[in-house]
Amino acid sequence: MKLYKLKDVAAYIGVTPNTVRNWQKQGKIHGLRLADSGRYWFSQEEVDRVYRQFYGIKED
């Protein structure tokens, strides 16, 4: 499973890192918090899901 940093998720979707943080607090995107760094990482599947939802792309 490939994981992405918050700033990379924001750049991919086209929003600010603060927007991704807000979405995370609101439960709109789910990340994995790594104990050693305390930072959140996001799976490819989750990033793709949020991307499709943000841009209104329906899944086939």
State the pLDDT at residue 42.
98
Is pLDDT above 70 for 60?
no
pLDDT tens per residue across span 13-53: 999 999 999 999 999 999 999 888 889 999 999 999 999 99
Q: Pick from 20, 25, 22: which is nearest to 9 by CA? A: 20
* Domain architecture of the chain: domains with CATH: 3-55 (1.10.1660.10)
Report the predicted TM-score, pTM, of the whole model to 2 decimal places.
0.89
State the pLDDT at residue 36.
87
State the pLDDT at residue 23.
97
Q: Are 16 and 52 in contact (CB under 8 A)?
A: no
